[in-house]
Structure 1
């Protein structure tokens, strides 16, 4: 019987920790707390450590840590800057050293979208697929790539990050992201306070402004991802993240932009998959 593997998942608005049992990839003792991405470095790092310490992690464990980019994953150095819009105070900070010191344990970093894709391949919707792309749709767009259980760089886009692609000369996340959708809806005369889920609900009820904003955003994502998936020869596309809850509405617009797509599945539990992927990486770096 294997010991559970402790994992930490860092998002733009939260930090989560859990134990993952590699015997069946079950997740237990999950803890989730809000995280202020605009806070100072000491405050952010203290929150990460405090959440992690709530777990009864086995002594001697290596922690799997799923982090958004830009981040130097082998070295554990944060590369966020003002242009990213989150964690600016961590620019150049050795997050790995802070976590090792606070947890008295080793850590293994993995991109959060790669962790999602690897978790789906290991124990989710992508079990049995050879070549998998995982898309996470939340505050932004994340992409992870797995071939036969190994995280890979598809070569294009740079480092496999679909959010670095331009569509019609515009960065993808200037059109397809939480902030971009909300901004576009407000510019079209919609309520500035409306979030993506509310905008999607309006589109379902026939609101033309909401539908037009979402169609443009998902169409741009389709253009960005369609040729990349074809070049990668993906067997499967797995979608997760908060926006995936509206996938029945979003998928036709994505397909219109992408043209041909491989089979698409929606994750049953994207957070669990991120935990599992981080654990797999920590156990088999």
Structure 2
């Protein structure tokens, strides 16, 4: 399949609280009819519950003919084999050792095959193919939510190793202040930091952002410290990798007005000369990018190998 031949790829994006389905039109680099559908998902549910939610969502966008599906979801996951490796990550424990490929191939409407892709890779490829990183050769994509997702791209190829590339391309494996990065930069870390700073029960991140915008010093301080820390961790990587754009997505990036300043300050603190040459931006297509990227990956690779070539 190649853009221009009218190909459409059905895609699922799986998160800890939701699943989204759409049909990606490779010709327009957009969603068919501009439409996606959503279903709530309990990441703590049984494997049967999770599969049922995915199938229910997929049924709302399924086509008339048999076709392969692409699925974007977070790790740890064996994307080659389609088997969950979740343990101690706070979601999808029921998928540990579970053959999700076999379950979905048997249940998704008209599925002839199912390929799996890391959601952060899919996000970055979606923004490179059809969003804020379009036209850039070297790209870093970061997603902010329950944790920190990441992807390093060169000419549309996902890199796992090389100068400036985090181990296996995963920033969450890095450490900060003596602990894992996600103990400082994540939804749970933001809530915990606000509770410590304010003495109050921790609200969700959306409420902390609202308080920060209203002048709550504890809330503003938590955003400043959290994303300044992320910048200080990313700075040496970006200096070595030399991307021309850093694209940030994920649920927490919805508070870009509170994230961008501290992030840039942290980056500048450790790599001032290099950072001035990098475009630092929020996602142009935050909701669609993982869907677009999963379709791109499935089409460009044909098999879930984790490497891509430009279409």
Could you tell me the TM-score, scaled by structure 1's length?
0.94
Task: Give runs of aligned pairs for residues 161-176 of structure 1, distance below 5 A.
Answer: 161-176=170-185
Instruction: Name the count of aligned residue pairs.
Output: 284
Match in the other structure for 2:24: 20
Match in the other structure for 1:151: 158
Match in the other structure for 2:47: 41
Alpha-carbon contact 2:160-2:169 (below 8 Å) kept: yes
Match in the other structure for 1:274: 290
Instruction: Give distance in 2, aligned partners of 1:243 and 1:77.
Output: 28
SS in 1 for 2:287: helix
Deviation track 1:69-124 (CA, whole Å, cap 9, x = no partner) reads 1011111111001x211101111111111111112321111100100100111110
1:128 aligns with one of 115, 135, 153: 135
Alpha-carbon contact 1:5-1:57 (below 8 Å) kept: no
Match in the other structure for 1:66: 72
Shift of 1:255: 2.1
Gaps of at least 5 residues in structure 2 are: 302-311
Alpha-carbon contact 1:114-1:151 (below 8 Å) kept: yes
Alpha-carbon contact 2:224-2:258 (below 8 Å) kept: no
Match in the other structure for 1:119: 126
Could you tell me the TM-score, scaled by structure 2's length?
0.87
Instruction: Give distance in 2, aligned partners of 1:154 and 1:220.
Output: 23
SS in 2 for 1:129: coil
Alpha-carbon contact 1:107-1:282 (below 8 Å) kept: no
Instruction: Give distance in 2, aligned partners of 1:185 and 1:276.
Output: 35
Task: Give runs of aligned pairs for residues 201-240 of structure 1, distance below 5 A.
Answer: 201-240=210-249
Alpha-carbon contact 1:8-1:16 (below 8 Å) kept: yes
1:96 aligns with one of 101, 104, 109: 101
Instruction: Give distance in 2, aligned partners of 1:212 and 1:243.
Output: 16
Gaps of at least 5 residues in structure 1 are: none
Matched, 1:56 2:78: no
Instruction: Give distance in 2, aligned partners of 1:14 and 1:76.
Output: 19
